[in-house]
Amino acid sequence: MPKRPKIITVTGGKGGTGKTLCAVNIATMFKNESKKVLLIDGDVENPNTYLLLGGTLNNKSLVNYFKPQIVEDKCTKCGICAENCASHALLYLDGAVPIPMLTVCSGCKLCYKICPSGAIQPDSKIIGWKYRSEVNSISLLIGELKPSEARSAAIVEDLLKDVMTIIEQKPNEFDIIILDTAPGAHCDVELLINMADLVIPVTEPTKFGEMDLLRIIELITLLNKEYKVIVNRSSLLGFRDEFLENLSNKNIKILGDIPLDDDVVHSYCQGTPLMDVEANYSKDGGAYASFLKIYDKLKEWIHEKDNR
Ligand code: SF4
Ligand code: SF4
């Protein structure tokens, strides 16, 4: 039986902790060892993995969403569609043709399926885009929500459908799939965590960081997923040891920590990952060495997982 790729979801309860930095550099370290890597940007309101990889958005495709269109001539005004719409997205007044309210419609298609008169036609609405490209031998799949649209989870679901198709049809195409999530603990993030073999929440050594980390760990635990934490900017104001000890005392599993390092800032500015072997960063730098330790631990985790 072919081995399917391992899926690692990089997440974090709070914005700006360095999720994308970690996702991109972990992807780069696997790529450096000639692994076939697919990196998915599921932060669909702010997709920016490609910027940190120095790439561009290519091969755009539309993400459409079902929208009900009511054919007035066929509608008997029975109200069955409105009665059964769990989102209350069909405004129905006795004896009138229902009016779809698209801002609350979930696109579930139930009304279309149950209308006894065939008066509901499937129509579609563009809610965003997907991009597929290859940057420095890393395959990128990016979702982007259209401004003013609210259905970010639908874009994430669409990305995950592509992942499932790849896994089912070409299980050997990739060795590793890395999913980068939006911040927070909402349904988009839940979908991406639910796909993971390992979840990496990224935090920083502050009270806010800890509070949001605990929230995301609660979600990960509810979903029964394995996780290991990265503490980014760990040398911030000298709280590293205290913060790591505090996490240990709470039995929180730690994958590693990354200290503040100018090279990380340079990598953001230049759009070149810190761990890119071709890039001109210090190979003795604190962040570089820390990422290598994290990578070693990930390889150990893969080895253990393959031998369980
Ligand atoms: S179920 Fe069909 S026929 Fe009945 S009100 Fe809705 S659209 Fe009209
Ligand atoms: S698609 Fe689903 S949510 Fe939208 S109007 Fe129809 S039943 Fe309601």
| Ligand 2 midpoint to CA 113 (Å) | 10
Q: Which residue among 69, 84, 90 has the greatest number of ligand 2 atoms within 8 angstroms of its CB, and so is best to mutate?
A: 90
Q: Whose CA is closest to atom 8 on ligand 1? A: 75
- What residue ranges of the chain are covered by domains with CATH 3.30.70.20? 65-126
Name residues of the chain where pLDDT drops below 70.
1-2
How is residue 35 written in tokens? 């692994």
Beta bridge partners of 202: 230
Alpha helices (runs of H) in the chain, residue ranges in sequence order? 19-32, 49-52, 80-84, 110-114, 152-169, 187-194, 207-222, 240-249, 262-270, 286-306
- Ligand 1 pocket member 110 (CB < 6 A): no
Q: Whose CA is closest to atom 2 on ligand 2? A: 108
Determine how β-strand 120-135 pairs with β-strand 60-70.
antiparallel
Report yes or no: 191 and 218 within 8 Å, Cβ to Cβ: no
| Ligand 2 midpoint to CA 220 (Å) | 30
What fold does the segment set 6-54+136-306 form as a domain?
A: Rossmann fold (3.40.50)
Within 10 Å of residue 29's Cβ, how many Cβ atoms?
23
Q: Whose CA is closest to atom 2 on ligand 1? A: 115
201 by DSSP, 3-state: which? Answer: strand
Q: Whose CA is closest to atom 4 on ligand 1? A: 78
Task: Spell out the residues 6+ positions from residue 207 whose beta carbon is closer than 8 angstroms to its own.
Answer: none
Report yes or no: 274 and 281 within 8 Å, Cβ to Cβ: yes
Write down the pLDDT at residue 98: 97
| Ligand 1 midpoint to CA 78 (Å) | 5
Write down the pLDDT at residue 2: 60
Ligand 2 binding pocket (C-beta < 6 A) is 68, 85, 87, 89-90, 100, 105-111
Write down the pLDDT at residue 280: 81
Report yes or no: 90 and 96 within 8 Å, Cβ to Cβ: no
Write down the pLDDT at residue 283: 80
Tell me the CATH class for 65-126.
alpha beta
Render pLDDT for 57-74 as a digit per residue (tens, 0 to 9). Answer: 889 999 999 999 999 999
Report yes or no: 49 and 185 within 8 Å, Cβ to Cβ: no
**Helix 286-306 × helix 262-270 angle, to 10°:** 80
Q: Which residue among 66, 111, 114 has the greatest number of ligand 2 atoms within 8 angstroms of its CB, and so is best to mutate?
A: 111
The span from the first CA to the last CA of the chain, in angstroms, equals: 16
Report yes or no: 135 and 50 within 8 Å, Cβ to Cβ: yes
